[in-house]
Structure 1
Amino acid sequence: MFITVSIISLLLVSSITVSYVDYHLGEVNDEIKQNIEAFMHGTAIEIDKEPIDENDVIDTLVTGFILSGLLVVLLSGVIVANISKRNQEKIDCIERVLKSAAEGNLSARTAVSRQDNDLDRIGCSVDDMLSQLQNVVAAMSDISTNIAHELKTPITRLQYHLLKLDNILINKKVNNKCCPSEQLALALKESSRLAEIFNVLLRISQIESGVRKQQFKPIDVAAIIGSIADIYVNVADDAGMTLSVNEPKLPILLQGDSELIIQQLANLVENSLRYCPRGSELFLSFHQGKGCVFFIMEDNGPGISEQEKERVFERRINKARNDGGIGMGLSLVKAVAELHKGEVKLYDCNPGLRVEICYPQI
């Protein structure tokens, strides 16, 4: 492109200079003709012996070069500005596509039809890469979904048959040292736990894939806090604990998925309810600062050791637990925070635990 502009500029300079000099020499030629005709008709005494002055020729050439140079600079500027504008539009398009892909929309494309320059080739490469990535992600998602659903169905059937058998045994009033009903109850509990594990895994995978980000919209923090208060204040009271909720009086907007954030805060409250002893005090609050909204969950329970803090967000199932949980509640909390470009931090309350989630405000 630089060579093309340079050649065009040289041609323009030459043609404009030649045209200007030719025009000026034509005027001089006309003056000579008029001088000769006047001398022949006797209206002039003598003929100018030097009709063309050297200084005039130099001035003509200099003026021609200056005019042609200015026109070439102007035209080159227009050409370069147009090329720069087109290239910037292509760069902006590629940037938008990559940003959209990073947010989970792998169907975005630059739609480059020709490969005239390096940016077009980059755009085509980006489209090819996203097409391949979309196919791979779709294939992995289908496999994961199929596996999860295939496993979920027999587990659900197992629950049904165990419940049915349990009812039969209870109705027959089987008395034995080894109570089948008790064993079946344990089996039911374990099958329910398996179903819960798969549900949580599916939800976390869906969150981490970024698919839910396409459903983001402005949501009211006050409505979310109010939903948590309506559900869990009475639950905490029944468990012999106190849950205090700081509800905002004015609407505070976030860009996100209200269902996921409610699930996130519910997990935090349920964790505190599960681990804290009777008589514990729980606090769910929020505050604003520096363009962010902070959700804070505090309790005065046993807390988490420093060693466990490093692993508490890992997606792992704690098989040694006997409290009914599966050990992935905080994994979901972190996944939801990262989807919303937020951050989760853990602090000691001495005693107890403080979980702080920071979200950017609209």
Structure 2
Amino acid sequence: MTENSGQDALTLIEDMIEKGGDIPKDLPGSLEEQEKLKRILGKIHEMHSFISRMSEGDLDAKLSFRGYIAGPLKALQSSLRHLTWQAKMIAEGDLSQRVDFMGDFSLSFNRMVANLADNRDQLISRKEELERSYAALSQANNKLNILSSITRHDILNHVMVIVNYCFLLKEVITDPKLKKQLEAIEFSGKEIQHLIEFTRSYQDLGVLEPMWQRIPVIFTNPTISGLVKDISVQLPDQCYEIFADQMLVKVMYNLVENSIRHGGGVTEIRISYVDEQSLLRIIYEDNGSGISADEKEKVFKRGYGKNTGLGLFLIREILSITDISIKETGTPGKGVRFEMTVPEKYFRRC
């Protein structure tokens, strides 16, 4: 090889290192020198490909040669593979992993894992505290429910005495004024009975943990299926689970009962979903008389309306336990449209 051809070879090697590109077809020097230069350029090209693939996360790249430069590159690849395995172990809960072969990175990595271990221990401790608190609260609620049940039973017994005596007195009293007064007392007594019986159904509100539930499954509950036996019910085809208080069945029951009681001859009930990614809307509709514009918000107030005036109020209370809101958005005269909005963390696709 001449001095000029040697310089040309060095330039080619420098250009390959700095600029990359394909190996030129025309190489300087003799055939033997050309073959040697081609091997050198090929190794540079192969090392570039090897490093590029590693930088993109591909740790399966291979080098076909060994030596002074290839050795450290393969060692780096091996270290990255081991680090990947350690990260996988950490992700699976093994926080005993430590790195001792990558200098300053090792210090940061080990500090991160140690912090994760400390946080996990704190979370476990906190979880145990919450479990103890929940157990104590659950026990207190159970005792309150027992007390409530006994008190409710005693009140009903006394009210029944009042109602029965009113009935008997009406049979023997002829004074119209006294009879009217007795009828008022009897009516109030029966209303008290009805209210107490109604509240019995809600004594477990918020006591049991919320759970994932499917509305079509809820509609197979005998208390609801019995109500809608003469009504056409359209349920959604999409499958969603709602994280709500276990009294979600009462929500659906009260909506159906409200349609039947106040809808004016409802023959059709429709439930649909509107998925807006960050929230899910559950739409309950019927083909009844609907709710007037000035009553849309009032119907959710305690004591408003006919019967006990608690049905829709309690619906809102049950749903709010898991941050689900409800409002009426129907057109008066064309049926009700109750829209329940479920936050992202309280629904999932199934």
TM-score by length of 2: 0.55
Higher Cα Rg, which structure:
1
Counterparts in 2 of 1:126 and 1:328: CA distance versus 1, 3 Å: farther
- Alpha-carbon distance in 2 for matches of 1:331, 1:187: 23
How much does 1:157 deviate? 1.6
**Paired residues, what number?**
253
How much does 1:154 deviate? 1.6
Aligned to 1:353: 336
Q: Is the 8 A contact 2:319 2:325 kept in 1?
A: no
Counterparts in 2 of 1:219 and 1:82: CA distance versus 1, 3 Å: same
Runs of 5+ unmatched residues, structure 2: 1-65, 96-111, 342-346
Of the three residues 312, 335, 348, the one matched with 2:318 is 335
Counterparts in 2 of 1:158 and 1:171: CA distance versus 1, 3 Å: same
Give the structure with the higher percent helix: 1
Of the three residues 250, 255, 266, the one matched with 1:263 is 250
Of the three residues 283, 295, 300, the one matched with 2:289 is 300
- Alpha-carbon distance in 1 for matches of 2:145, 2:67: 80
Counterparts in 2 of 1:122 and 1:91: CA distance versus 1, 3 Å: farther
The C-alpha deviation readout for 1:299-347, integer Å capped at 9, x for no partner, is 32443537x53x765xx632xx4722243435426735975x9774531
Partner of 2:92, secondary structure, is helix
How much does 1:128 deviate? 1.5
Counterparts in 2 of 1:287 and 1:227: CA distance versus 1, 3 Å: farther
- Alpha-carbon distance in 2 for matches of 1:271, 1:300: 12
Aligned to 2:69: 66
Q: Report the residue type matching 2:147 in the other structure.
A: E
Q: Is the 8 A contact 2:316 2:325 kept in 1?
A: no
TM-score by length of 1: 0.53
- Alpha-carbon distance in 1 for matches of 2:152, 2:144: 12
How much does 1:90 deviate? 3.0
Q: How does 1:98-113 map to 2 (within 5 A)?
A: none
How much does 1:123 deviate? 0.7
The C-alpha deviation readout for 1:159-201, integer Å capped at 9, x for no partner, is 123324533554463426165465244134224414523642x
- Alpha-carbon distance in 2 for matches of 1:286, 1:120: 47
Of the three residues 89, 93, 112, the one matched with 1:86 is 89
Q: Is the 8 A contact 2:272 2:283 kept in 1?
A: yes
Q: Does 1:138 align with 2:120?
A: no
Runs of 5+ unmatched residues, structure 1: 1-62, 93-114, 235-243
Counterparts in 2 of 1:166 and 1:312: CA distance versus 1, 3 Å: closer
Partner of 1:355, secondary structure, is strand
Aligned to 2:8: none
Partner of 1:231, secondary structure, is coil
Aligned to 1:50: none
Give the percent of matched residue pairs that are identical in Structure 1 and Structure 2. Answer: 13
- Alpha-carbon distance in 2 for matches of 1:226, 1:361: 26
Q: Which has the larger displacement, 177-186 or 73-82?
A: 177-186
Counterparts in 2 of 1:281 and 1:184: CA distance versus 1, 3 Å: closer
How much does 1:155 deviate? 2.0
- Alpha-carbon distance in 1 for matches of 2:113, 2:274: 49
Q: Report the residue type matching 1:297 in the other structure.
A: E
- Alpha-carbon distance in 1 for matches of 2:255, 2:219: 17
Q: CA RMSD in A?
A: 4.5
Q: Does 1:286 align with 2:271?
A: yes
Of the three residues 187, 190, 195, the one matched with 2:189 is 187
Q: Which has the larger displacement, 64-73 or 256-265?
A: 256-265
Q: Is the 8 A contact 1:317 1:327 kept in 2?
A: yes
